Protein backbone atom coordinates (compact mmCIF):
# COMPACT_ATOMS: atom_id res chain seq x y z
CA UNK A 1 0.00 0.00 0.00
CA UNK A 2 2.76 2.33 0.98
CA UNK A 3 4.77 1.46 -2.08
CA UNK A 4 1.73 1.94 -4.25
CA UNK A 5 1.21 5.43 -2.84
CA UNK A 6 4.85 6.22 -3.42
CA UNK A 7 4.73 5.10 -7.01
CA UNK A 8 1.53 6.97 -7.66
CA UNK A 9 2.80 10.20 -6.14
CA UNK A 10 6.12 9.84 -7.93
CA UNK A 11 4.28 9.54 -11.19
CA UNK A 12 2.16 12.53 -10.41
CA UNK A 13 5.18 14.58 -9.34
CA UNK A 14 7.25 13.66 -12.36
CA UNK A 15 4.47 14.30 -14.81
CA UNK A 16 3.78 17.59 -13.02
CA UNK A 17 7.43 18.50 -13.32
CA UNK A 18 7.27 17.64 -17.00
CA UNK A 19 4.19 19.81 -17.50
CA UNK A 20 5.76 22.69 -15.67
CA UNK A 21 8.89 22.42 -17.72
CA UNK A 22 6.96 22.23 -20.96
CA UNK A 23 5.10 25.35 -19.92
CA UNK A 24 8.36 27.15 -19.30
CA UNK A 25 9.68 25.96 -22.63
CA UNK A 26 6.56 27.24 -24.32
CA UNK A 27 6.89 30.62 -22.71
CA UNK A 28 10.44 30.65 -23.93
CA UNK A 29 9.83 29.54 -27.53
CA UNK A 30 6.36 30.68 -28.55
CA UNK A 31 6.31 33.41 -31.19
CA UNK A 32 4.19 36.10 -29.60
CA UNK A 33 2.54 37.23 -26.42
CA UNK A 34 -0.83 35.47 -26.50
CA UNK A 35 0.58 32.12 -27.42
CA UNK A 36 3.13 32.43 -24.66
CA UNK A 37 0.39 33.24 -22.25
CA UNK A 38 -1.52 30.24 -23.40
CA UNK A 39 1.46 28.01 -22.67
CA UNK A 40 2.03 29.58 -19.27
CA UNK A 41 -1.53 29.61 -18.03
CA UNK A 42 -2.36 26.05 -19.01
CA UNK A 43 0.65 24.51 -17.38
CA UNK A 44 0.42 26.80 -14.38
CA UNK A 45 -2.82 25.17 -13.48
CA UNK A 46 -2.22 21.68 -14.82
CA UNK A 47 1.34 21.19 -13.64
CA UNK A 48 0.63 22.75 -10.30
CA UNK A 49 -2.36 20.49 -9.78
CA UNK A 50 -0.32 17.37 -10.56
CA UNK A 51 2.55 18.33 -8.29
CA UNK A 52 0.27 19.32 -5.43
CA UNK A 53 -1.74 16.09 -5.72
CA UNK A 54 1.51 14.15 -5.71
CA UNK A 55 2.56 15.87 -2.54
CA UNK A 56 -0.84 15.37 -0.99
CA UNK A 57 -0.45 11.61 -1.22
CA UNK A 58 2.71 11.89 0.82
CA UNK A 59 1.20 13.99 3.55
CA UNK A 60 -0.61 11.29 5.46
CA UNK A 61 -3.56 11.99 7.64
CA UNK A 62 -2.51 15.39 8.92
CA UNK A 63 -3.18 19.01 8.26
CA UNK A 64 -0.71 18.95 5.38
CA UNK A 65 -2.97 17.58 2.61
CA UNK A 66 -5.55 20.11 3.70
CA UNK A 67 -3.10 22.95 3.31
CA UNK A 68 -1.99 21.60 -0.04
CA UNK A 69 -5.60 21.39 -1.10
CA UNK A 70 -6.07 24.99 -0.07
CA UNK A 71 -3.01 25.99 -2.08
CA UNK A 72 -4.37 24.10 -5.05
CA UNK A 73 -7.76 25.74 -4.70
CA UNK A 74 -6.32 29.22 -4.52
CA UNK A 75 -3.94 28.61 -7.41
CA UNK A 76 -6.81 27.16 -9.37
CA UNK A 77 -8.77 30.35 -8.82
CA UNK A 78 -6.07 32.98 -9.03
CA UNK A 79 -3.95 31.73 -11.88
CA UNK A 80 -6.62 31.87 -14.61
CA UNK A 81 -7.93 35.12 -13.20
CA UNK A 82 -4.48 36.60 -13.43
CA UNK A 83 -4.22 35.37 -17.00
CA UNK A 84 -7.53 36.98 -17.81
CA UNK A 85 -6.47 40.27 -16.28
CA UNK A 86 -3.18 40.19 -18.08
CA UNK A 87 -4.67 39.38 -21.47
CA UNK A 88 -7.21 42.12 -20.95
CA UNK A 89 -4.53 44.62 -20.09
CA UNK A 90 -2.54 43.66 -23.16
CA UNK A 91 -5.55 43.87 -25.44
CA UNK A 92 -6.52 47.18 -23.93
CA UNK A 93 -3.20 48.77 -24.68
CA UNK A 94 -3.22 47.52 -28.23
CA UNK A 95 -1.25 44.29 -28.40
CA UNK A 96 -2.90 42.28 -31.17
CA UNK A 97 -2.77 38.54 -31.52
CA UNK A 98 -0.69 37.83 -34.61
CA UNK A 99 -2.51 35.47 -36.95
CA UNK A 100 -1.72 34.50 -40.46
CA UNK A 101 -3.56 32.96 -43.37
CA UNK A 102 -2.31 30.46 -45.96
CA UNK A 103 -0.42 32.99 -47.98
CA UNK A 104 1.78 33.65 -44.96
CA UNK A 105 0.63 37.21 -44.80
CA UNK A 106 -0.30 38.40 -41.39
CA UNK A 107 -3.68 39.93 -40.82
CA UNK A 108 -4.77 41.86 -37.81
CA UNK A 109 -6.50 39.89 -35.12
CA UNK A 110 -10.10 40.29 -34.27
CA UNK A 111 -11.23 43.47 -32.75
CA UNK A 112 -11.70 43.40 -29.00
CA UNK A 113 -15.16 42.30 -27.94
CA UNK A 114 -17.93 44.82 -28.33
CA UNK A 115 -17.23 47.40 -25.68
CA UNK A 116 -19.89 48.23 -23.20
CA UNK A 117 -21.13 51.79 -23.42
CA UNK A 118 -19.25 52.59 -20.23
CA UNK A 119 -15.93 51.91 -21.82
CA UNK A 120 -16.59 53.64 -25.05
CA UNK A 121 -13.73 56.05 -24.69
CA UNK A 122 -11.29 53.29 -23.91
CA UNK A 123 -11.88 51.40 -27.10
CA UNK A 124 -11.74 54.60 -29.03
CA UNK A 125 -8.32 55.12 -27.62
CA UNK A 126 -7.27 51.76 -28.87
CA UNK A 127 -8.38 52.70 -32.35
CA UNK A 128 -6.75 56.07 -32.12
CA UNK A 129 -3.50 54.58 -31.09
CA UNK A 130 -3.50 52.12 -33.92
CA UNK A 131 -3.37 54.92 -36.41
CA UNK A 132 -1.01 57.13 -34.47
CA UNK A 133 1.56 55.14 -32.53
CA UNK A 134 2.67 56.78 -29.32
CA UNK A 135 6.22 57.97 -29.45
CA UNK A 136 8.52 57.39 -26.52
CA UNK A 137 9.62 60.61 -24.82
CA UNK A 138 11.76 62.86 -26.91
CA UNK A 139 15.50 62.44 -26.76
CA UNK A 140 15.20 58.83 -25.83
CA UNK A 141 16.23 56.42 -28.53
CA UNK A 142 13.85 53.57 -27.90
CA UNK A 143 16.38 50.81 -27.98
CA UNK A 144 13.94 48.20 -26.92
CA UNK A 145 10.47 49.29 -27.92
CA UNK A 146 8.97 47.30 -25.12
CA UNK A 147 5.92 49.47 -25.03
CA UNK A 148 4.85 48.97 -28.56
CA UNK A 149 3.03 45.95 -29.89
CA UNK A 150 5.53 43.89 -31.77
CA UNK A 151 3.88 42.31 -34.67
CA UNK A 152 7.11 42.63 -36.54
CA UNK A 153 9.18 40.79 -33.99
CA UNK A 154 6.63 38.08 -33.74
CA UNK A 155 6.55 37.58 -37.46
CA UNK A 156 10.29 37.47 -37.70
CA UNK A 157 10.57 34.85 -35.04
CA UNK A 158 8.03 32.48 -36.38
The interface with other proteins within residues 4-63 (CB under 8 A) comprises 6, 9-10, 13-14, 16-18, 20-21, 23-25, 27-28, 33, 36-37, 40, 44, 47-48, 51-52, 55, 58-59, 62
Among 31, 42, 46, 67, the residue binding other proteins under the rule CB under 8 A is 67
3-class SS at 106?
Answer: strand
Closest to 86 measured CA to CA, from 41, 44, 129: 41
Shortest distance in whole angstroms from residue 25 CB to other proteins: 6
Q: Which is nearer to other proteins, 4 or 146 (CB)?
A: 146
Shortest distance in whole angstroms from residue 143 CB to other proteins: 7
What DSSP line would sit under 41-56, residue for residue? HHHHHHHHHHHHHHHH
Backbone angles phi, psi at 135, to 5 degrees: -85, 145
Query: Cα separation of 32 and 20, whole Å?
Result: 19
Q: How many CA atoms lie within 13 A of 93 on its CB side?
A: 11
Query: Cα separation of 59 and 9, whole Å?
Result: 11
Shortest distance in whole angstroms from residue 118 CB to other proteins: 6
Q: Which is nearer to other proteins, 3 or 102 (CB)?
A: 3
Residues 95-154 that bind other proteins (CB under 8 A): 95, 116, 118-119, 121-122, 124-126, 128-129, 134, 136-137, 139-140, 143-150, 153
Amino acid sequence: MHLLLDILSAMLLLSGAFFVFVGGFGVMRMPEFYTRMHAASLTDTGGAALILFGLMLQGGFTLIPLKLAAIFLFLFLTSPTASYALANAALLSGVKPACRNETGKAFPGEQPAKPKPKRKSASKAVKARKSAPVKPPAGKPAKRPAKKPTKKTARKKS
